[in-house]
Amino acid sequence: MLSEIEALRETAGDEINKAGSLKDVQDLKVKYLGKKGLLTVKLRSMGAIPPEERRAFGSLINEAKSYLESAITSQENRFRSDELNQSLRIEKIDVTVPGRYIPAGQLHPSTKVLDELITIFTGLGFTVAEGPEVELDFYNFEALNMPKEHPARDMQDTFYVSDDVVLRTHTSSVQVRTMEKTPPPLRVIAPGKVYRCDADVSHIPMFHQLEGFMVDKNIRMSDLKGVLELFIHRVFGSNTSIRLRPSFFPFTEPSAEIDMSCVICGGKGCNVCSQTGWIEILGAGMINPRIYEMAGYAPDKYTGFAFGLGIERVAMLKYGIDDIRLFPENDRRFLAQF
């Protein structure tokens, strides 16, 4: 019996040492030390051994067991570390390889200017309103004191959808729409797309405007000037001056064109400002009482101002862009510059 154990220990030890894989080692563990393993079975047969031999048998078998266990553990460790080394070799990452370039977009200059203006005006308590781009002739023209056949309609080259429907030619269309829904006082900006049948270096058929209007008791032209001066200073720097020139718009009375000192030459005179030192930047005025009548406001109780500006025009002056047709092209080489 004792020699059987020794023989078993020897074969088992041999097999374990010659095992070719982790799986072989694990199978051998089951074969010899598992519940029904060859050595386990011997251990269980201890009862059948004559009492005087039990001690020797017991110690031999326990010694064989721990011998095999440690042989198994060391083989397992060997195969596990081989496996690890192999995967470290195969899955090696070269952290010095240059990264792959993933082109990222950036905000369009029109969007940047629009966002900047919205931040400035909401900071002054203006709220943002929107209106439809396919607009009734009524809101685009009639409600703004431009009845059908009014000569001022010729100032804007309109895309007509039908006799009564147009692509809005300006964001001023949002004025009466908003006033109809909101009683005074109000402070509103209305940014958005507008359409005109026109195309050259300074005109594209679809561009962006921002309309602003404020109605309350005792609003004066000086309020208009203060708000516009603040906005020009924020966008173009506080050295910029503005001036108001008399003009005409059917929806404001009095009306003005606002010029700012030329951002290119600082007012000395250059090509951009046609040697005048001034650049026209937006239209504005005191809201014509006819508009209040159209909107259902009491025309004798309230006064207010309105202004409208072209976003692309502001962007062109701010970033020094000399051709408005670059805006809708979306060429990344152009967009990446801002």
Using DSSP, state whether 78 is helix, strand or coil: helix
Residue 12 binds ligand DAH (CB under 6 A): no
307 counts as binding ligand DAH under rule CB under 6 A: yes
203 strand-pairing partners? 200
CB within 8 Å of 54: residues ≥ 6 apart: 46
Is residue 252 at the binding interface for ligand DAH, with CB under 6 A as the rule?
A: yes
- Choices 89-97, 234-242, 258-266, 302-310 (CB under 6 A): range interacting with ligand DAH: 302-310
Out of 37, 192, 283, 304, the residue judged to bind ligand DAH by CB under 6 A:
283
How far is it, in rounded angstroms, from Cα 260 to Cα 222?
16
Count of beta carbons in the 10 Å neighbourhood of residue 40: 15
Q: What is the pattern of x (binds ligand DAH, CB under 6 A) and - over residues 155-174?
A: ---------------x-x--
Q: Kindly state the smallest distance separating residue 330's Cβ from ligand DAH, in Å.
A: 24
Q: Does 259 bind ligand DAH (CB under 6 A)?
A: no
Interface residues for ligand DAH in 172-191 (CB under 6 A)? 172
CB closer to ligand DAH, 211 vs 312: 211
**Could you say which of 306, 314, 316, 317 contacts ligand DAH (CB under 6 A)?**
306
Residue 255 CB, nearest approach to ligand DAH (Å): 6
Q: Is 249 in the site for ligand DAH (CB under 6 A)?
A: yes
Helix segments in 98-160, DSSP class H: 109-123, 137-140
Q: In sequence order, which residues have a C-beta less than 8 Å from that of residue 46 and are 6 or more positions away?
A: 54, 57, 58, 61
* DSSP structural state of residue 153: G
Specify the residue, 37 or 308, whose C-beta has the smaller distance to ligand DAH: 308
Cβ partners under 8 Å of residue 57, min gap 6: 1, 2, 5, 46, 49
Q: How far is the CB of 169 from ligand DAH (least distance, A)?
A: 7
